[in-house]
Amino acid sequence: MNQIGERSCPICGNSQREIFFELSEIPAFCNLLWKERQAALNCTKGDIKLAFCHNCGFIDNVAFDSVKINYTEDYECSLDFSPRFQTNAQSLAEDLMARYQLQNKKIIEIGSGKGDFLVLLCQQNNNYGIGFDPTYVYRPEHDQYNVEFIQDYYSERHANYQSDLIICRHTLEHIPNPASFLKTLRCNIGNTFKPKIFFEEPKAQDTFNLQGNCVI
């Protein structure tokens, strides 16, 4: 294991982190479908160099180069075609409905993808949803629901959007500086509104256990 000091932890600022996994020249995106084989072979590639912060537990890729990442409509990470995933999403939607009494409520989803989960929350109980995601693709059927989508990254430009609930599922781990993002969110909320906040993140240990069973 190597010690690194050149890039401090984006969460706690600790400059002494431990690199525990390295992989070179892999596709920068894993959720793009290429029309031709050669285009896939020529895709933008980058390195993975995972560092663990012993101070706060944060793990990130210190070789990450944001210039290589550009989320567009072509990015497809939706799993909503899977019956198993649908069951999970439905169950979570029902849980959120009950937990936060989602009726006549305004809901912001940051990283709403193609919009399926937000629609799930807003197709009943007269809720109104606003989704932020640069990869959103307009679908005419969305016009029948109380939802709107902003094809953009959520940022300080969107401070005028307020809601009763803010959800952010499997998105924070894609943001290079999560602490900075959370500060922006906190700043946007201000002190007048008091929305409920719901974040859902993958468990790193599960991912590493899966990797252990794969040939990479």
Which residues neighbour 84 within 8 Å (Cβ) at sequence distance 6 or greater? none
Q: Which is nearer to Zn ion, 97 or 172 (CB)?
A: 172
What's phi and psi for 188, nearest 5 deg? -65, -35
Are 43 and 74 in contact by the 8 Å Cβ rule? The answer is no
Q: How far is the CB of 9 from Zn ion (least distance, A)?
A: 3
Tell me the closest approach of the beta carbon of residue 41 to Zn ion, in angstroms.
37
Outline where DSSP puts E strands in the chain.
Answer: 2-4, 17-27, 45-52, 59-61, 106-110, 128-132, 147-150, 165-169, 196-200
List of residues contacting Zn ion (CB under 5 A)? 9, 11-12, 14, 53, 55-56, 58
20 vs 138, beta carbon nearer Zn ion: 20
Minimum CB separation of residue 17 from Zn ion in Å reads 7
Q: Residue 53 or residue 166: which is nearer to Zn ion going by CB?
A: 53
- The distance of closest approach from Cβ of residue 142 to Zn ion in the complex, given in angstroms and rounded to an integer, is 39
Angle at 159 between CA 153 and CA 160, to 5 degrees: 115
Q: Minimum distance from CB of 180 to Zn ion (Å)?
A: 14
User: d(Cα 66, Cα 80) in Å, to the nearest integer?
Assistant: 27
Residue 53 vs 93, nearer CB to Zn ion: 53
Give the nearer residue to Zn ion in terms of CB position, either 15 or 103. Answer: 15
157 secondary structure, DSSP code: G
